[in-house]
Amino acid sequence: MRRAIFPGSFDPITMGHVDIIKRSLPLFDELIIAIGVNSTKKHMFSLEQRKVFIEATFADKPKIKVDTYSGLTVDYCQSIDAKFIVRGLRNPADFEFEKTITQVNRRLSDIETVFLLTSSETSFISSSIVREVIQFDGDYSSMVPKALHL
The residues that are catalytic are 17, 41, 90, 127
Strand, helix or coil for residue 8: strand
Alpha carbon 145 to its chain centroid, in Å, reads: 13
Nearest to 88 by CA among 25, 32, 16: 16
With contact defined as beta carbons under 8 Å apart, do 7 and 34 qualify? yes
Exposure string for 58-86, b = 16+ CB within 10 A, e = fewer:
beeeeebbbeebeeebbebbeeeebbbbb
Q: Residue 106 — left, alpha, or beta (φ > 0 → left; ψ -120 to 50 → alpha)?
A: alpha
